[in-house]
Amino acid sequence: MSIQKNINDLLNQSFENNDYLPKKLLLEDIDQGAVDYINSLNISVVNAEDRLAKVPLIFLNQERWAEFKMNWKFLKDESGEEINMPFMTIRRMGVKPGQNPLKRTIPKKKKFVFVKVPIFDGTLKGYDLYKIPQPPRVDVQYEVRFLTHYIQDTNTSYERMIMDGFSDGQGYMNINGYHIPLMLSDPSEDNTVDEITADRKFQIVFPLSVYGKLVDPTNFERVPTITKIKIDIKEL
């Protein structure tokens, strides 16, 4: 086997996988990851038609939350249709710098990871070199509310959240290829009656904490380097 063939084989192997740079991971991705995780628990209760039905989960931004808290009985989906109890809501409560950072941190977003990305212009192969900043750690708090008219539904929500979602104290989400942990804090109940003639509402509040990081590909810096390689080796 010639030296020329060895070098060509190594270059060809470098081009087999195109997932070289870290994927994006921003707050909107973490929001969606939390929604997907709760949805994956498939919390279901027996509805008015005596059928087992999955409880819908609605993400509330600040505007929708302000509208919703004015009247706990009613909630509309994205199409404007009214959603009847039982249903669940999830909203982001706050974001703060991570409490469990890496042991060694680089100040002022100093770029410390270099990634080689193979390039190919049709005839010649080479590499682009990227500097990747250290991703800052972030803790994101969420509130999941389960609302229903029936106390037996609240038992189901407790069981599924604790048994399926957080049986070992925490869960893990896979968001854009990152393994992100989340933990369940102590749930609380908020059971109220607005009027004597009103329907009773049972609410369970599940506080969640997500321990993630922020990765923004727009901050990746391409370093000028050799972009074309031409090899001409002769064996004696």
User: Average pLDDT for residues 53-79, to the nearest whole number?
Assistant: 71
Per-residue pLDDT of 77-118, as tens digits, reads: 666 666 777 889 999 999 999 875 554 444 555 556 656 666
Q: Could you give the CA distance from residue 1 to residue 135 in angstroms, rounded to a whole number?
A: 44
Q: Any bridge partners for residue 125, and if so which?
A: 120, 229
Three-class SS state of 163: helix
Computed on alpha carbons and rounded to an integer, the radius of gyration of the chain in Å comes to 26
Q: Could you tell me if 135 and 110 are in contact, meaning their C-beta atoms sit under 8 angstroms apart?
A: no
Go through 183-207 and write b for each residue having 16 or more CB atoms within 10 A of its CB, e for each that does not: ebeebeeeeeeeeeeeeebbbbebe
Q: What is the DSSP string of 4-71?
A: HHHHHHHHHHHTS----SPPPB-HHHHHHHHHHHHHHT--EEE-TTS-EEEPPEEE--HHHHHHHTT-
| DSSP code at position 169 | S
pLDDT of residue 168: 80
Residue 214 burial (CB count, 10 A): 18
Residue 73 pLDDT > 90, yes or no? Answer: no
Q: Could you give the CA distance from residue 35 to residue 29 in angstroms, rounded to a whole number?
A: 10
pLDDT of residue 213: 92
pTM, two decimals, is 0.74
pLDDT of residue 207: 95
pLDDT of residue 211: 94
Residue 27 pLDDT > 60, yes or no? Answer: yes
Q: Torsion angle, CA of 105/128/219/27, rounded to 10 degrees? A: -90
Parallel, antiparallel, or unpaired: how do β-strands 57-59 and 87-97 relate?
parallel
